[in-house]
Amino acid sequence: MNVAVFGMQWGDEGKGKIVDYLAEKADIVARFQGGSNAGHTVIVGNETLKLHLIPSGVAQNKKLVIGNGAVINPEELISEITELEKRGFRVDLLVSERVHLVFPYHLLLDGALHAHQGNRAAGSTKKGIAPVYADKYERHGLRVADLIEMVDNGELPGYVHKMVELKGKMLHHVFEIEHNLDEQQILDKFYIYANFFRKYSGNVTDEIYHAIAEGKNVLFEGAQGGLLDIDHGLYPYVTSSNTTLGGLYTGMGLGLRCKNKNTVDKVIGVVKAYTSRVGEGPLPAELLNETGNWIREKGHEYGTTTGRPRRIGWLDMLEVNNFVMVNGADEIALTRLDILSGLKQVKICVNYAIDDVLVRQRLATGGAIQKCRPLYEVMAGWDEDISNCRKFEDLPVNAQRYVHRIEEFTGVPVKLIGVGPERSQIIPR
Ligand code: IMP
């Protein structure tokens, strides 16, 4: 069975843990969009893995694949692999030869753009994501296969010269930033990266197509979350890739079926029991009070990639329902329910109102959302520590009610419930 896992909120839903759990039954774990802006935490025994580019299946020693829709900073990928291997993990990785590469000027431009965009800036992770995807669509980016070819035919110095000249002018004349981009240094590094990719890259579409056709189980790991989708998220407070189901098909180069097998048999939407996000933009159910601080500290809600404190809010069903729809989610994996233990009341944002008029559909602009007043359903909380519960019936009745309400609002069953950071702290239903 081929399963796809997507975040239904702002990223940071705890997909890494869910993918790690599901990876046991998979032969291949594949990523298909985003880059090192992603941060997936996987805890196995005494080991805490903070992954950015490597699919979370690494902790289960699975075959790992990165599809063409992703972008890679080679320096970060190599250091992630080195670190994992040092810690005894086997990294059996195939990177698509069509993946676009992040250059040092993308990192500088990311910061410059952020400053220029002012209150319409997404608050990027400064990993070069927007500039590298922009180069892809301007059709002068460099893919893994191009890098190898240019090293072989001697065209790489010319390419780097042209791009450093262009990006240098943008930094200097447009953004008025002094830079120290060094062509030779970039070249030296990219010659080394080319050798690395000779070993690790290939035709990912072909590989996955045949694996599925032969009956292997593929687990597709979405990065970020629905609200960060470039098309369906809260634009412009989004990332630069499609973080929803469509991104999987284009980002792997696959159709609905591989021979007579479905490419994706099941879609799992990962929902955190509350809302958290880093970055800018409106967040109607935000908790700007003691409860928000309490959840942030209890849940260690600080960004995996940037260390920034995450903004906290109640669960927002208007948003979750939208991404259940956009992804066609069959099931929900609810994460971090344990963090809510100890609250007298828990709230679910069930709708918004603007000037006392109900907002029934998702709004497209931050300006409109800014005007919204969240409407809550208030439920009784629970005091018990639930981190040792392993069956749904073991959960306090009020925690069970909370789960049931989510099922009622989404119309989708909650099949996995996370009650702690460990791989074993999951309640299957
Ligand atoms: P970028 O993807 O670095 O350009 O950042 C754009 C927006 O997406 C910012 O608000 C980031 O904080 C957010 N973002 C990007 N990747 C992640 C992620 O993996 N988890 C949560 N937020 C993310």
Q: Which of 53, 56, 110, 125 best tests ligand 1's pocket when mutated (most atoms within 8 Å of CB)?
A: 125
- Whether 262 and 382 share a structural domain: yes
Answer with the one of 167, 200, 233 that is the final residue of a domain: 200
What is residue 155's predicted lDDT score, i.e. its pLDDT?
Answer: 98
The residue type at 82: T
What is residue 315's predicted lDDT score, i.e. its pLDDT?
Answer: 98
Q: Which of 120, 224, 235, 280 best tests ligand 1's pocket when mutated (most atoms within 8 Å of CB)?
A: 224
Q: How far is the CA of 16 from the centre of ligand 1 (A)?
A: 15
The residues carrying an active-site annotation are 12, 40
Closest Cα to atom 21 of ligand 1: 11
- Whether 184 and 220 share a structural domain: no
Q: Total structural domains in the chain?
A: 2
According to DSSP, the β-strands at 47-51 and 71-72 are unpaired
What is residue 53's predicted lDDT score, i.e. its pLDDT?
Answer: 98
Which atom of ligand 1 is closest in space to residue 306's alpha carbon? 12
- Whether 135 and 25 share a structural domain: no
- Whether 263 and 403 share a structural domain: yes
Q: What is the CATH number of the domain that holds 43?
A: 3.90.170.10
125 lines ligand 1 (CB under 6 A): yes
- Whether 224 and 307 share a structural domain: yes
Q: How far is the CA of 1 from the centre of ligand 1 (A)?
A: 30
Closest Cα to atom 20 of ligand 1: 11
Question: What SS3 state is found at 276?
Answer: strand
Domain range for 191 is 100-200
Answer with the one of 200, 227, 252 that is the final residue of a domain: 200
Answer with the one of 200, 216, 235 that is the final residue of a domain: 200
Chain center to CA of 110: 18
CB 283 within 8 A of CB 277: yes
Tokens of 376: 């809550």
- Whether 245 and 194 share a structural domain: no
Question: What SS3 state is found at 108?
Answer: helix
Please state, in angstroms and rounded to a whole number, the distance separating the CA atoms of residues 341 and 319. 23
Helix %, strand %, coil % for the chain, to 5? 40, 25, 40
- Whether 75 and 105 share a structural domain: no
What is residue 40's predicted lDDT score, i.e. its pLDDT?
Answer: 87
37 lines ligand 1 (CB under 6 A): yes
Q: What is the reported pTM?
A: 0.97
Please state, in angstroms and rounded to a whole number, the distance separating the CA atoms of residues 278 and 307. 9
CB 307 within 8 A of CB 395: no
- Whether 224 and 183 share a structural domain: no
Q: How far is the CA of 240 from the centre of ligand 1 (A)?
A: 9
Closest Cα to atom 12 of ligand 1: 279
Residue ranges in 2-55 assigned as alpha helix (H): 15-23
Closest Cα to atom 8 of ligand 1: 239
Closest Cα to atom 22 of ligand 1: 11
Distances (CA, A) of 233 to 37, 164, 229, 242, 429: 16, 32, 4, 9, 30
123 lines ligand 1 (CB under 6 A): yes
228 lines ligand 1 (CB under 6 A): yes
CB 105 within 8 A of CB 167: yes
- Whether 196 and 208 share a structural domain: no
Q: Which of 228, 230, 306 best tests ligand 1's pocket when mutated (most atoms within 8 Å of CB)?
A: 228
- Whether 270 and 150 share a structural domain: no
- Whether 215 and 305 share a structural domain: yes
- Whether 23 and 170 share a structural domain: no
Q: What is the CATH number of the domain that holds 196?
A: 1.10.300.10
**Residues of the chain where predicted confidence (pLDDT) is lower than 50:** none
Looking at the DSSP assignment, which residues form a beta bridge with residue 49?
42
Cβ atoms < 10 Å from Cβ of 335: 26
What is residue 44's predicted lDDT score, i.e. its pLDDT?
Answer: 85
Q: Tell me the CB-side half-sphere exposure of residue 344, using CA atoms within 13 A.
A: 1
12 lines ligand 1 (CB under 6 A): yes
